[in-house]
Amino acid sequence: MERIFSGKTVDEAVEAGLNELALTREDVEIEVLEEGKKGLFKSTPAQVKITVKEKLTDGQRAVRFLEGLLPLIGAEATPVLQSEEEKIIIQLTDGSKGLIGRRGEIIDALQVLAGAVANTGRHDYRRVVVDCGSYREEREETLKHVAEKLAAKAVRLGKRVRLEPMNPYERRIIHSALADSQEVTTKSEGREPARYVVITPKVLRRDDKKDKRRGGKDRSRNDREPKYGSERKKTYERRELPSEATPESSGTSFNRGGTPGYKKGSFSGFFGTFLGNANDEEKPTPTDEE
């Protein structure tokens, strides 16, 4: 609906139209037709055209947004609003198979954007689901099967099992599938977009409890870092004590007692060169007979 209103100025014309329609500026679109002029003998009034905006529901706003977005990414799909009761369900039709992407990455992104548009200006969040054929239903069944299988594995091993990162919608399916389990519990960990679900058995193995307290690190006692900057003790090979026929020290060192050389009578054959003393007389070499 659109109507034309007049006034001495543009502001007066707009104010008159809003009062008559009992609307606010956010509810209408205003187009100025005549600015209005003051003359010496004659004045021209200002004129504005006020068009009442179409009031769209949350789901309709999301559909309108997708209608403008899909052509920009080269998609020929058509968004159709299927339901708007408990949650907003939008179905993509007409050549929308390519919009699913690897593991639903593309359709999940479209769902996030549509949800943001549908919840603009709302205090309570409304859930928005963008589907393509029966993709959401098939994906939900797959996730439930995976959840049950990994829960059985966690119970059998007695250890925590970590799933691959998922979006909030898929994590919610995992939590819901195992909510009534008497053997495991579920918890989301990590940060977006790499947030994931961890399935924990109620009966944990002892070593897994230790790993959990350490933050998931499996470290043995020998692998721990030394405290207060201390270093590990080094091991050295054990040296054998010198025998009686071996010099106490090398020929270039002295004993700590201050006496150079070797123990008296400890070694009979010295392999090396002995310079001797220049004043000493040359002694004859003993023979076998002596």
- 197-232 residue pLDDT tens: 999 999 988 766 555 555 555 444 444 545 444 455
Model pLDDT, residue 43? 76
Contact present, 171 and 192 (Cβ < 8 Å): no
Model pLDDT, residue 163? 95
> For the ranges 37-41, 46-50, 97-101, which has the lowest average pLDDT?
37-41
Cβ atoms within 10 Å of 14's Cβ, excluding its own: 19
261/243 Cα distance (integer angstroms): 16
Note the CATH number of domain 137-214: 3.30.1370.50
Query: pLDDT above 90 covers what percent of the chain?
Result: 36
Give me the mean pLDDT over the 92-116 stretch.
Answer: 85
For 141, the token pair is 């069944």
Shared fold status for 58-133 and 137-214: no
pLDDT, one tens digit per residue, over 107-138 is 999 999 999 999 998 889 999 999 988 889 99
* Winning range, highest mean pLDDT, from 81-95, 183-197, 275-289: 183-197
Is the predicted pLDDT of residue 149 greater than 90, yes or no?
yes
The mean of the pLDDT values for the chain is 77
Cβ atoms within 10 Å of 200's Cβ, excluding its own: 17
Model pLDDT, residue 210? 57
Higher local confidence (pLDDT), 272 or 11? 11
Model pLDDT, residue 141? 95
243: CB partners within 8 A, 6+ apart: none
Q: How do beta strands 28-34 and 46-52 pair? A: antiparallel
- Looking at residue 129, its amino acid is V
The domains of the chain are located at 2-52, 58-133, 137-214
Contact present, 98 and 162 (Cβ < 8 Å): no
Give me the mean pLDDT over the 75-83 stretch.
Answer: 90
Higher local confidence (pLDDT), 233 or 99? 99
- For residue 134, give Cα distances in angstroms to 55, 158, 161, 175: 31, 36, 29, 22
Alpha helices in the chain (DSSP H): 10-21, 58-69, 105-118, 135-157, 168-177, 206-213
Model pLDDT, residue 285? 47
Is the predicted pLDDT of residue 263 greater than 60, yes or no?
no
Helices 168-177/135-157 angle, 10° precision: 50
Model pLDDT, residue 228? 46
18/206 Cα distance (integer angstroms): 73
CATH homologous superfamily of domain 58-133? K homology (KH) domain (3.30.300.20)
Cα first-last separation, the chain: 145
> For the ranges 55-64, 66-75, 203-212, 246-255, which has the lowest average pLDDT?
246-255
Model pLDDT, residue 75? 85
Model pLDDT, residue 116? 94
Higher local confidence (pLDDT), 268 or 181? 181
